[in-house]
Structure 1
Amino acid sequence: MAGQVYNTKKLELNRVVFLGRTWEEYLLIFDLKEEQLIGKSVLDCPGGACSFTAIANQRGIRSVAADLAYYHSVEALKEKGLQDIEYIIPKIEQVKDNYRWDYFENIVELKNKRVTALSQCIKDMEETNKSRYFPVVLPVLPFEDGFFDITLSAHLLFMYADNIDYYFHIQTIDELLRVTKEEVRIFPITDMNGKRYDRIDEIKEWIVMRGWEAVESKSSYEFHKNVNTMLKIRKTSE
């Protein structure tokens, strides 16, 4: 049920972590099939240490990633990514009842997937001289209007509403819409405790006034309990 909160203990982090999800996780998170993306141009923002862009380009999908972290060198990102995995895994284990253990069978598999995502991301950065990885400071993006067919945005907007104000949400979504021709998908629309963002209806109304459709949709992916919904934003027919 929307708004239901499962977690009794919170995941406490005292630093910004450089973590990533795998290509397979992204397809589940955003309820996508590979064939839907073939021939498309895709933006992953924020990309973090995700392997989506790396694997997408191997499969005929023109994808780039954008993130504040990309201002750092590849070597520094690799080191921080490995350190952050070692930092966060024990913290997740302390509150493991907050999570569903079906996609990941256990904490060891979770760690292995996070290492895999980081390794694939770093390898792609090294091989392409980071040409697919754009350093950005949101809410500003260095791309032309309508440059991408699809934009995917995971684990930033709505999830950290305690630290990111409403106007940053509006400005960032406006910028994502500006650089996108067809569709923007944002996951999740809850915080890490499964609480639905309390101004999501205002944002949906604002999106509709901008000439887009905004629909809440159930994701095929649920790791944090009750964190399983996304916002699908589609350009309306003129």
Structure 2
Amino acid sequence: MPVESTPSPGGSPTTDQVAAAAQAVVEGRVQLTSRTLDEYRMVFGLTDEDLLSGPVLDCPGGASSFAAESRALGAQVISADPVYLLAPHIIEPLVRDHLAASAAFGLAIADQLDFSWAGSPEEHLVRWQGAAETFLRDYAADHAGPERHYVPAALPRLPFADRQFRLSLCGFLLFTFPHAADQEEAILELVRVTAGDVLIGPLEDPLGAPCSTLDALRSRLADRGVTTTTRDIGYSIHPRQRGVLVCTRNS
């Protein structure tokens, strides 16, 4: 299912770049996941104040129900992901295929994971299935509406203004699939569009192996005007998880 591209207006990230990133998801080189608002709360240590005190960017948004659930609470959330190039009738089977692949992978390594926060691997799958259905309904409605909350975009270039968001979240991409985007440039771009914190996590690959170059990356970011800290948020599906990376621009 190749992703077709169309011309992009001047100054915007090229649609070819976004289409190439979407194709990586279509081909399974990057996983499309369906996570709930509750899981986002745990992964990033989010509070209601975090969600409600200003515009939030979820990049990549994937097939998660985070945006739909957060907007139902009154939050302002924009989701960015290259797969949002796809029409609802095309993205639906892709979401279901990736959900099945994620479930199979999780069950295959269940003895290495801690599902206690979800109850069991089976209950975790039920949560993801519900998140996927919520996302698909919201995506279809959004696609037909006058204002798009799901924006096709791919790091390290985003079609947003400087400091447009108060908080940006980047989950399960930069360290989970480090080949998907240039980590340093992606973080600089997220910092550019964010007035407050950028939260990135987890800091390990799908098998729980930590990023061996994290300290060097943080040093380079410091040289480019970005302060980073790590925050332990108490969420751990792998025994070696280290929380999230918090990035802010220097004043």
Residue 119 of structure 2 is aligned to residue 105 of structure 1: yes
Distance 2:212 2:154 in 1: 25
Distance 1:75 1:14 in 2: 18
Answer yes or no: is the 8 Å Cα contact 1:78–1:118 preserved in 2. Answer: no
SS in 2 for 1:46: coil
**Do the aligned residues in 2 keep the contact of 1:190 with 1:229 (CA within 8 Å)?**
no
Which residue of 131, 148, 169 maps to 2:183? 169
What does residue 74 of structure 1 align with?
Answer: 88
Q: Secondary structure at the match of 1:157?
A: coil
Letter in 1 for 2:65: S
Unaligned runs of 5+ in 1: 1-12
Q: Deviations over 1:128-170 (max 9, x none)?
A: 2271111113211000111111100000102223x357xx111
Structure 1 CA distance, aligned partners of 2:209 and 2:107? 21
Tell me the TM-score normalized by structure 1. 0.86
Match of residue 94 from structure 1: 108
Matches within 5 A, 1:38-187: 38-129=52-143, 131-161=148-178, 163-164=179-180, 168-187=182-201
The number of equivalent residue pairs is: 222
Q: One-letter code of the match for 1:135?
A: P
Instruction: Report which of the two has the higher share of strand.
Output: 1
Q: How far 1:37 sits from its partner (Å)? A: 2.2
| C-alpha separation in 2, matches of 1:201 and 1:90 | 33
Task: State the superposition RMSD in angstroms.
Answer: 1.9
Contact 2:34 2:99 in 1 (8 A): no
For residue 234 of structure 1, give the secondary structure of its aligned residue in structure 2.
Answer: strand
Aligned with 1:182: secondary structure?
coil
Note the C-alpha offset of 1:107.
2.3
Select which of 27, 30, 36 maps to 1:22: 36
Aligned mates of 1:15, 1:142 — CA distance in 2: 24
Whether the aligned pair in 2 keeps the contact of 1:214 and 1:234 (CA below 8 Å) is yes
| TM-score (structure 2 length as normaliser) | 0.82
Q: Percent identity?
A: 27
Alpha carbons 1:139, 1:171 under 8 Å: kept: yes
Alignment of 1:184-223 (within 5 A): 184-223=198-237
